[in-house]
Structure 1
Amino acid sequence: MERLSKATLPAAHTDGVTLPPSGWDTQRTGIVHMGIGAFHRAHQAVYTQDAFAATGDDRWGICGVTQRSDTVKRQLAGQDGLYGVLERAVDHTGVRVVGQVREVLFPAEQNAELMARIVDPATRVITLTVTEKGYRRNGQGGLDLADPAVAADLAGGEPVSAVGRLVRGLQARQRAGAEPITVVCCDNLASNGRVLKRLVDDFCAALGDDDLTAWIASKVTFPCTMVDRIAPATTDADWALGEQILGLHDEGLVTAELFKQWVIEDDFVAERPAWEKAGAQLTDDVEPFENMKLRILNGTHSTLAYAGALRGYPTITRTMADPELAELAAGLITEDVIPVLECPPGEDLPAYGAEVLKRFSNPALAHKTTQIAMDGSQKIPLRLLSTIRDNLAAGRNPAHAITGVAAWMAYVATPEANGLPLPIDDPMADRLAAVRGSKDALGIVENLMGIEDIFGTDLPGNTSVHDQLVDAVTALLP
């Protein structure tokens, strides 16, 4: 079968296929995106292509930056940047071909090219999806200056961390006298724009570059965002289905649900794509939207991942087919999260929660429980502990959220469940390994609650939370 490319695109099937808009291949590059994994290609790149289709503004082609390996570069280089998004729902299966990515850089080999792209006056927006752990924060939320990659970046030479590459690029832009630029974090972090701004400031302070700090304060903005679309890892079956629909071999195929949402703080210091024409929501305050998503969707997703994996379920869909765990998810949303959550303008929290559960039950998406389980030490505080704290402050008992945290604890302690390996892929893996293989629920809870970077100083002293965690871990351990 021929491989997807500009030359073969006219041979693509027409039934179930959406082709990129005319002129996709002549767009100029105006966005640098750091972390060009599956989520970006299924989310922000799609919004940007739809904005191009709606307006004809051709200044917003994307330069993708692959952080850890050159895999995506190799996938897309032979396809003229084209790739398909296999969109699947109960009553829909189709492939959307995206041509918004105009080049992919692997900075381990092309750092000079990356710096030149950031300096280029045509670049007005930098976006990031590098995952929570990619920001290399310490327990206080600042930049971890002791991290080996951060320390090496500060010492000079070609940067390797996301924040290091970003700041060195901004430094080069400042020295070149280039125009203002907006940096848009698209990772699942509360107040993600402000988080990133703090990390950038910490890096500049460690450099001792007051001029750069002042330039960033006046020439760069960091709007907050909330992003949402389920984009599971692409399987062999997905690739086969994508080829069948498209009629071409696509090495860059990604998989996603139909639903997508992007809420963006309207704080741009330079020009940007008309993302609102593609359905993005521009707002003065993203926080209520991000809390809605982090607590209802992400908190429930994590709870299902840990609880389902402990029963040997490989996917979220299979987990939702378990009536007891589906009830746990519904109870978490309706009884623990919604009663203490501010409703964003124009949203209906019960309807949003019901839609989330429906999305998790989508049999067309094989979202692996162990994939969602990654980086729990970074996710649990935002996704579940915030809900627990708000309930305690309101005099309420968040039993379902506590069960979600207990499921994480039991997962960390359990190497395998019903034939399913439960790996620990977490920046705190060495610390979490202290409970690996333990069947002592009390010991597991007290050991993990003692990690101040996760639980703070308030929750470990709460007897009710402690005792409920011990009971729940006892029940959850296989």
Structure 2
Amino acid sequence: MTCKLSLATLTDAAKTAEIPAYDRASLTAGIVHFGVGNFHRAHQAIYLDDLFNQGKDHDWAIIGAGMLPSDAAMREKLAAQDFLTTVVEQDNNKTAARVTGPMVDILPVGDCGAIVAKLADPAIRIVSLTITEGGYFIDASGKFNPSNPAIVADGKNPSEPKTVFGLIVAGLKTRKEKGIVPFTVMSCDNIPHNGAVTRNAVLGMAELSDPAFAVWIKANVAFPNAMVDRITPATGQREIDLLTDTFGIEDNWPVYCEEFKQWVLEDKFTAGRPALDKVGVTFVPDVTPYEHMKIRILNGGHAAIAYPAALMDIHFVHDAMQEPLIRAFLAKLENDEIIPIVPPVPNTSLKDYFALIERRLLNPKIADTIPRLAQDGSNRQPKFILPSTLDNLRQGKDVVGLSLVSALWCRYFAGTTDSGKKIVFNDASADRLHAAALRAKDDPAAFLVFDDIFGEVSQSELFCKRFAHALKTAWEKGTRATLQLYLDGKLAV
């Protein structure tokens, strides 16, 4: 017997899953969140659910918002179940389901007027975002790109914005005009200095239409930096069916994730915040050491194994980590070229942190996929891999392993695996990358022409040399042999 998830069926769901200990009717919204995807529901929403279960801060519930077709699909699915979500936490030795309820609504998607009106509501004190790395309109140097057509359009028509940042600016302007304290803008995306990146995007957006208002935002609005972490695969029919079969709950879009989670956040808020320190969030004056650790070691590790695994026709992350060549490649890369340039983190051993990462990636229950790790590389490589490359080069160190990561990414974008299977790309820049990767088979420099991706790194003679040789080797000998040469210390020339 199964139950279709809703507020009316929570008693039935409680037979197999933990349910909210609070009355949903007691909640009022204090947060508008852009990007109601899996990671948000497995991370920020979980922390708030824990807090509400303690009977605290029920005036900090979430209202979702979005402008994309995918946001509309999510709204439809969640509205049908009263905006509840089943989150299944999986460790090697445990699988447990919980129904979470901190989200009370999602605003009509694409309705600029409704969204701006809610952003101007005095009850809303935080606007948070998980809009992916590609949603911030930044180039390889991390700078906001005001020439993007969507940004230009909002700059010309600020009263009817179509981007998240145009909406935020419009909401802040309305609050200023009405004398309402501005909300805090809180990024929860995996981007170095995500608060500063968000601040630059909001300021850059405002400057296009009202430079004086941009000055006001700079002086009055908080943009805390944060480090967020929880491996959260995409949901497909497999996960939907698995939830029904295992727990008897019919959820239109459940979330499966690992048991581990982490949130390190700068305590800088314009209009207050929920007591997240009561449920495990670490508040610090400067998040930089933590984000360097996570983005370089975990996200960089994800990016490093994605392309060799894809070229070797491996689908799941845990299977990739069971492949001795890939696991050894990751360990050598991390220990030789990534961990040594990560600044010290308070009360943290970076070696122990990497050991934790290995255990997490080996978790077979997560069923995280290589295609997920390989997607959106044009945004992820400049944030997760190339900063480590650049730091090594600036310190006069070699980059054999990191150059190999970039070369395997190029080889991947040629479009076929080593066995000849076609690769399906998921990247906004797929067309230009594919064309360049095909040219790079004979002219490796053809893949390094994208300044918005490679930036200063492509100006390094050493990097270009290492990249060219690694790519040539991958084409001539295949991925397995190339990895073995790297492990044997014979890849560099």
TM-score, scaled relative to structure 2: 0.91
CA distance, structure 1, for counterparts of residue 242 and residue 151 of structure 2? 42
CA contact (8 A) 2:125 2:183 kept: yes
The one-letter code matched in structure 2 to 1:117 is K
Partner of 1:130: 131
Residue range with higher mean Cα deviation, 89-98 or 445-454:
445-454
2:249 partner SS: coil
TM superposition outliers: structure 1 runs of 4+ over 4 Å: none
Partner of 1:466: 464
1:7 partner SS: helix
Alpha-carbon offset, residue 416 of structure 1: 4.6
Partner of 2:488: none
For each residue in 1:395-428, what CA deviation from the matched residue of structure 2 results, as whole angstroms up to 9, or x when unmatched?
Answer: 3323222221111111122345546542333333
The one-letter code matched in structure 1 to 2:446 is N
CA distance, structure 1, for counterparts of residue 276 and residue 369 of structure 2? 30
CA contact (8 A) 2:321 2:361 kept: yes
Partner of 1:182: 184
Q: How many residues align?
A: 472
CA distance, structure 1, for counterparts of residue 35 and residue 385 of structure 2? 26
Partner of 1:254: 255
Partner of 2:319: 318
2:8 partner SS: coil
Unaligned runs of 5+ in 2: 479-493
For each residue in 1:72-118, what CA deviation from the matched residue of structure 2 results, as whole angstroms up to 9, or x when unmatched?
Answer: 1111111111110111121111111110010012431x322211211
Mapping of residues 212-361 of structure 1, within 5 Å: 212-361=213-362
Partner of 2:490: none
Alpha-carbon offset, residue 219 of structure 1: 2.9
CA contact (8 A) 1:13 1:247 kept: no
Partner of 1:39: 39
CA distance, structure 2, for counterparts of residue 89 and residue 214 of structure 1? 48
Mapping of residues 192-211 of structure 1, within 5 Å: 192-210=194-212
Partner of 1:404: 405
The one-letter code matched in structure 1 to 2:464 is H
Change (3 A) 1:139 1:428: same
Alpha-carbon offset, residue 336 of structure 1: 1.2
CA contact (8 A) 1:181 1:219 kept: no
The one-letter code matched in structure 1 to 2:119 is I
Change (3 A) 1:239 1:213: same
Alpha-carbon offset, residue 296 of structure 1: 0.3
CA distance, structure 2, for counterparts of residue 381 and residue 141 of structure 1? 9
CA contact (8 A) 2:112 2:162 kept: no
CA distance, structure 1, for counterparts of residue 283 and residue 362 of structure 2? 29
2:44 corresponds to 1:50 = no
Alpha-carbon offset, residue 18 of structure 1: 1.6
The one-letter code matched in structure 1 to 2:465 is D
Residue range with higher mean Cα deviation, 378-387 or 115-124:
378-387
1:447 partner SS: helix
Alpha-carbon offset, residue 165 of structure 1: 1.7
CA contact (8 A) 1:183 1:220 kept: yes
CA distance, structure 2, for counterparts of residue 350 and residue 91 of structure 1? 24
Mapping of residues 102-121 of structure 1, within 5 Å: 102-108=104-110, 110-121=111-122
Change (3 A) 1:137 1:391: closer
Alpha-carbon offset, residue 140 of structure 1: 5.0
- What is the CA RMSD across the aligned residues, in angstroms? 1.9
Partner of 1:384: 385
CA contact (8 A) 2:185 2:223 kept: yes
1:107 partner SS: coil
CA contact (8 A) 1:95 1:245 kept: no
CA distance, structure 2, for counterparts of residue 221 and residue 136 of structure 1? 20
The one-letter code matched in structure 2 to 1:40 is H
CA distance, structure 2, for counterparts of residue 36 and residue 230 of structure 1? 16
Q: In percent, how many aligned pairs have the same letter?
A: 34
Alpha-carbon offset, residue 153 of structure 1: 1.4
1:18 partner SS: coil
Change (3 A) 1:217 1:391: closer
CA contact (8 A) 1:310 1:476 kept: no
Instruction: Identify the match of residue 172 of structure 2 among 166, 170, 173.
Output: 170
